[in-house]
Amino acid sequence: MAGKLTAPQGTGVLLVTANVGSLFEDPVNLQKTWLREFYQVIQSHKPHFLAVHCQEVGGKNYAESMSHVDSFVKELLSSDAMKEYSRARIYLDENYKSQEHFTALGSFYFIHESLKNIHQFDFKAKKFKKVVGKETCSETLENTPTLEKEKFPQDYFPESKWSRKGFIRTRWALADCAFDLVNIHLFHDASNLVAWEKSPSVYSGTRQKALGYVLDRITDQRYEKVPYFVFGDFNFRLDSKQVIESLCSTATMQTVRAADTNEVDKLIFRESDNDRKVILQLEKKLFNYVNQDVFRENNGTSLLEFDKELSVFKDRLHELEISFPPSYPYSEDSSQGKQYMNTRCPAWCDRILMSPSARELVLKPENEERSTVYDNIGPNVCMGDHKVTTGAELREVPVFLSFRITAGAGKPNANKHKCCVVQ
C-alpha cells in the first residue's frame, strides 16, 4: 500500500463529513458497519492525507454517550486499516457542560507514513509547525493554538434553547500548498409547516446568515488568506414551498387546524380525481409523500433545481457536481438501507464546499479525471445519524471528496502569501 501511495501522480487527499450522533448512542449495532464502510473508502482511494469532520459527536445524550467516543477514537487509531497512518491530530469538543462553547464537533486528521512533508498552522504563533506523532485534544479547544473554534450566538437560532451549532477551523501545508479545513454544523428546519410558508424559508435565511459569518471570519485580516474547504452538515434543504408545489401541482390542499389554538396542524394534498387519493401529508415533523422513487431515480438529481441555498454564495463557494442521492433522512430501519424516513423532505444536507482557489487545486488540468471523486459512503447500509433504540428521527449518510494535489500546486500562492512559507 505504501508503495502505491508514493506513485508520482501527486498527494492524495480524502475529505469526509459525517453526522455521527447515533454511533455513540447505539455503538454495538452501528459502529462496526460505519467503520467497515469508512475503511473501504480509505482502501479504495488510499489517501496520503485524510480529514474527517464529524458533527453531533457523543449524540444527543452527551453525558451517557461520551464514554463511547473514547472507544471510537481508540478503534480508529489502532485499527489495522489505519496502521500506515503514522501521525494524527484529533480534536473533540466534549465539554458539554459549557453551554457557552459546546459545539459537539469532532475533527480527525490522519497522515500516511509515506507523506514526509506536512505542517500544521499555529494560530497563536502565526507559523507552521511540523506534524509528528499522534495527539488527541478534547479539553477546552478554545485554548488550543492549532485551531479556531466558535459557536454561533444564541440569537442566530432563538427557537433552540441550547444550540450546538458552530465551526472548527484548522490550517495545513503539504505539497508546497497551504489550505484551511473548516468543520461546520448549521441550523436545521424545526418545522416542515414553517419551512413551507414562504420561499426561501426562514430557516434558509438563518443558515445563510451563519454561513456568511463563517466565511467572513476565515477570510478576515487576522491571517494570510489561503484556499479553504468547508465541509460538514450544512442542513441545506430543498426549497420546501417550490418542491411541494411541483410535487403536488395538480392537487388540492386541505388545512387541518388544532382545536385548542387554531394553528395549522396538518396540510393534506389530494388528487383532484382518482378518489381524491392523498399525495402528501405535511406536519411539523412529517413529510409523507406517496412516491419516494422521485428522490431515488437518477439519484434524485431532478430535484437539484430546488437546491438553492448555495446560490447566494456562488462567488465564494464552489461544489463539484452532485451525482449521489440526498444524504438525509434515510430510514432508521437497518433492513431498509435505501428508504427515506417520512419525517422531512429528502435533501443534500452534508456537503463539501471550497473556495475558488481551492477548486483550482482540486481541478488542476494535470489531475486525471478519475482521480477526483465526490460521492457518499455506504448509501445502501445503515451508516448515519440513525436512532435504533432512542426513537429519534435523523439519519445522514457520510459524504466524501477524493482528489490529488500535484507538487507545487500552491507555489503561486506561496509567492503572494507569507503563511504559505513553512517555517
Greater pLDDT, 102 or 410? 102
Greater pLDDT, 387 or 167? 167
Whether the full predicted model's pTM is greater than 0.75, yes or no, is yes
Q: pLDDT tens across 160-210, in order? A: 666 789 999 999 999 889 999 999 999 999 999 999 999 999 999 999 999
H or E stretch at 44: helix 27-45
Output the average pLDDT for the chain: 87
Give percent of the chain above pLDDT 70. Answer: 86
Q: How far is CA 82 from the centre of its chain?
A: 22
Q: How far is CA 15 from CA 18, 51, 85, 110, 380, in A?
A: 10, 5, 15, 11, 21
Residue type for 85, please?
Y
- Calpha distance 77→54 (Å, rounded): 16
- Calpha distance 338→333 (Å, rounded): 10
pLDDT at 220: 97
- Calpha distance 20→34 (Å, rounded): 9
pLDDT at 98: 84
CB-CB contact of 277 with 317 (8 Å): no
Task: Determine how many CB atoms are found less than 10 A away from the CB of residue 3.
Answer: 7
- Calpha distance 105→56 (Å, rounded): 6
- Calpha distance 177→89 (Å, rounded): 19
> Cell match 478503534: residue?
75
Q: pLDDT tens across 104-129, in order? A: 999 999 999 999 989 999 999 999 99
Among 152-161, 204-213, 401-410, which range has the highest average pLDDT?
204-213
pLDDT at 27: 83
Q: How far is CA 325 from CA 159, 322, 374, in A?
A: 30, 8, 12
- Calpha distance 250→254 (Å, rounded): 13
Residue 273: exposure state from Cβ atoms within 10 A (0-12, 13-18, ≥19): exposed
Q: Does 271 have pLDDT greater than 50?
A: yes
Q: Where are the beta strands (DSSP E) in 186-291?
A: 228-233, 251-257, 264-271, 278-283, 286-289
Q: Does 296 have pLDDT greater than 70?
A: yes
CB-CB contact of 90 with 73 (8 Å): yes
> Cell match 480529514: residue?
51
- Calpha distance 327→317 (Å, rounded): 20
Domain ranges of the chain: 2-237+291-420
| The three cell numbers locating residue 146 | 492549532
* Residue whose C-alpha is closest to residue 49's, from 365, 402, 361: 402
pLDDT at 338: 66
Greater pLDDT, 138 or 139? 138
pLDDT grade, residue 414 (50/70/90)? very low
User: May I ask the CATH architecture of the domain 2-237+291-420?
Assistant: 4-Layer Sandwich (3.60)
pLDDT grade, residue 406 (50/70/90)? confident
Per-residue DSSP letters for 288-322?
A: EES-THHHHGGGGGGGGGG--GGGGGTTT-B-PPP
Q: Does 159 have pLDDT greater than 90?
A: no
Q: pLDDT tens across 325-377, in order? A: 998 887 655 544 467 889 999 999 999 999 999 999 998 766 566 689 999 99
- Calpha distance 418→423 (Å, rounded): 10
For 233-242, 310-319, 348-357, 410-419, which range has the lowest pLDDT when averaged over its residues?
410-419
pLDDT at 329: 85
pLDDT at 410: 60
* Residue whose C-alpha is closest to residue 24's, from 96, 98, 110: 96
* Residue whose C-alpha is closest to residue 109's, from 131, 78, 130, 83: 131
CB-CB contact of 22 with 386 (8 Å): yes
Give percent of the chain above pLDDT 90. Answer: 69
Widest pairwise Cα distance in the chain: 74
Among 91-95, 264-268, 363-367, 413-417, which range has the highest average pLDDT?
264-268
pLDDT grade, residue 390 (50/70/90)? very low
H or E stretch at 209: helix 202-218
Instruction: Tell me the helix, strand and coil percentages in the chain, rounded to 5.
Output: 30, 25, 45
Q: Does 383 have pLDDT greater than 60?
A: no
Q: What residues contact residue 217 under an 8 Å CB cut-off, 6+ apart?
A: 148, 150
CB-CB contact of 295 with 340 (8 Å): yes
pLDDT grade, residue 380 (50/70/90)? low
